[in-house]
Chain A
Amino acid sequence: MSIAPDARPRLARGVRLHEDRVRGRTVLLAPERVLTPNASAIEILRRCTGALTFTEIVNELARTHQAERSRITIDAESLLTELANRRMVDL
């Protein structure tokens, strides 16, 4: 599945990133689930507030990480599609 460039991904209500001080990591909390995203997943998820379009998220990441846009697009699409299928992200 590809994500529309003008989609504005946002974490679904009841889903949020949380600083787990005790274990020293960032977790994604959702109904009956605790996920541990890696650093690049966290970078993407922090931007899923509904304010930015998918294209803007990719552009921002490409700029800050000086990485290839095409690679970031594929990674972000795969992550957000998976989370949308788990009802954790609204596209």
Chain B
Amino acid sequence: MTHPPPLGLLAELTHRCPMACPYCSNPVELDRRSDELDTETWVRVFKEAADLGVLQLHLSGGEPTARADIVALTRGASEAGLYTNLITSGVNVTKARLEQLADAGLDHVQLSWQDIDPASADEIAGLDGAHDWKRQAARAVIELGLPLTINVVVHRRNIDRVADMIVAAHRAGARRIEVAHTQYYGWALANRAALLPTADQVEAAHAAVARIREELEPGILIDYVAPDHFSRWPKPCMNGWGRQSLNVTPRGKVLPCHAAESITGLTFWNVREHALREIWEESPAFTAYRGTEWMKEPCRSCPRKEIDFGGCRCQAFAWTGDAANTDPACEYSAHHAALEAAVAAPRSDTLTYRRFSAPRPALQD
């Protein structure tokens, strides 16, 4: 059986990154440089993606420009006919490098900001001087005429400045800003008590965004992703499992979403061994939760099942031990009270930064 083709591919080119954000979406067990796919394999994957129907490619990481071949990869993607989007921290990204990427066909830049207060921004990034790099990178992108989106992940330490961040992004010349609440998987889950805002903070942020939207749009477009821990219903995670997008890890595993490896027991095929089309259509991880047939109650008979697809499989697995259960962010979930208890729990000021774990002893013959 064939499925409608995917629209987007997120290429995690590397897990290396100069920053150490405590909400990093990379898995807790990071891929090492020696594990990473080579240039030729990535470019083959990009061509296969375009042939499969992918239209937009997100060059991400870690920090994608940590790859020495980032210009060649961008050119390869562009020549494959893909719309190329660089998702970068901006750290160590010079104007000269951005110009090379633009010449190689880069279509759009997404630059992360951690905060608008430089000291807080650098503290969250775990890197002194990070914020200065970001301001420089934003300037360089604008001077080169490339469209710029600023990405901000919000949490209890920066959420009170959400309006200031939007104003600053507008002043910096960004065409768009994406304000996304932290999603609690992997590193962010380990840091939940330090990152989860209070309900009052969330309410104030909603109001601040609405106010600033009135004032600034369409001078800057504001995409605001509301937090699922404070909603009645879950987010339509990935717009459905295996429905629109795929994610390739540095070592070549293909996932329905970046956190999917947290669901133990799923088998992920690798681009080193399988064609991308075969993975999309037939691999067990993609077919496991595609469509609605796998659903149990209360999802199965829910009128919202084609709206939010039962929410997030990773969150369902993390909280209930079964990824086929309803996302506990949903008020109809039998586990919703546990999530509400976490929201009500005391907060902490201690951050655990994202780092590579110490190498485990191993022998090679």
Point out the residues of chain A lying under 8 angstroms from B85, CB to CB. 31-32
Residues B218 and A87 in contact, CB atoms below 8 Å apart: yes
In-complex Cβ contact of B218 among A20, A23, A29, A86 (8 A): A86
Binds A, one of B51-59, B194-202, B290-298, B355-363: B51-59
Partner-contacting stretch, out of A10-18, A46-54, A68-76: A10-18
Tell me the residues in window 86-131 of chain B with beta carbons closer than 8 Å to chain A beta carbons: 107-108, 110
List CB contacts (< 8 Å) of B125-166 with chain A: 145-147, 149
Q: Which of A18, A20, A27, A31 contacts B108 (CB 8 A)?
A: A31
Q: Is the pair A29, B221 in contact by a Cβ cutoff of 8 Å?
A: no
**Which of chain A's residues 1-32 have a Cβ closer than 8 Å to chain B?**
12-16, 18, 20, 22-23, 27, 29, 31-32
Known interface pairs A18-B81, A86-B221, A87-B176; A23-B53 also in contact (CB < 8 Å):
yes
| Residue in contact with B147 in the complex, picked from A12, A20, A27, A85, CB distance below 8 Å | A12
List B contacts of A12 (CB < 8 A): 147, 175
Contacts of A84 in B (CB 8 A): 218
Expressed in whole angstroms, the minimum distance between the Cβ of B324 and any Cβ of chain A is 30
- In the complex, which residues of chain B have a beta carbon less than 8 angstroms from the beta carbon of A27? 55
Residues of A within 8 A of B5 (CB): 22-23
Contact: A85 with B51, CB < 8 Å?
A: no
From B52, B55, B218, contact of A18 by CB (8 A): B55
Give min CB distance, B290 to chain A, whole Å: 19
Interface size for A (C-beta < 8 A) is 18
Contact B223 A32 (CB under 8 A): yes
Interface residues on chain B, size class: 20 to 34
Q: Are A87 and B221 in contact (CB under 8 A)?
A: yes
In whole angstroms, how far apart are the Cα atoms of A87 and B223 in the complex? 13
Of chain A, the residue at the smallest CB distance from B147 is A14
- With A31-B149, A32-B149, A87-B176 as known contacts, state yes or no: A22 contacts B53, CB within 8 Å: yes
Task: Looking at the assembled complex, report how far the CB atom of B81 sits from the nearest CB atom of chain A, in whole angstroms.
Answer: 7
Instruction: Assess A13 versus B56: contact at CB under 8 Å? Given A22-B5, A87-B175.
Output: no
B46-64 residues at the A interface, CB under 8 angstroms = 51-53, 55-56
> For residues 26 through 64 of chain A, which have their beta carbon under 8 Å from a beta carbon of chain B?
27, 29, 31-32, 34
Residues of A contacting B149 with CB < 8 Å? Answer: 31-32
B159 to chain A, nearest CB (A): 22
Cα separation A60 to B31 with both chains bound (whole Å): 56
**B7 touches A (CB below 8 Å):** yes
**B223 adjacent to A29 (CB under 8 Å):** no
Known interface pairs A29-B83, A32-B178; 9 further A-B residue pairs with C-beta atoms within 8 A, sorted by A's residue number: A12-B147, A12-B175, A16-B83, A18-B83, A22-B52, A23-B5, A27-B55, A32-B176, A32-B223
Q: List 24 A-B contacts (CB under 8 A).
A: A12-B175, A13-B147, A14-B107, A14-B147, A14-B175, A15-B147, A18-B81, A20-B55, A22-B5, A22-B53, A27-B55, A29-B55, A29-B107, A31-B107, A31-B108, A31-B175, A32-B108, A32-B178, A34-B56, A84-B218, A86-B221, A87-B175, A87-B176, A87-B221
Q: Which residues of B are interface residues toward A (Cβ below 8 A)?
A: 5, 7, 51-53, 55-56, 81, 83, 85, 107-108, 110, 145-147, 149, 175-176, 178, 218, 221, 223
Sorted nearest first, the 6 A-B pairs with minimum C-beta distance are: A14-B147, A22-B53, A29-B83, A31-B108, A85-B218, A14-B108
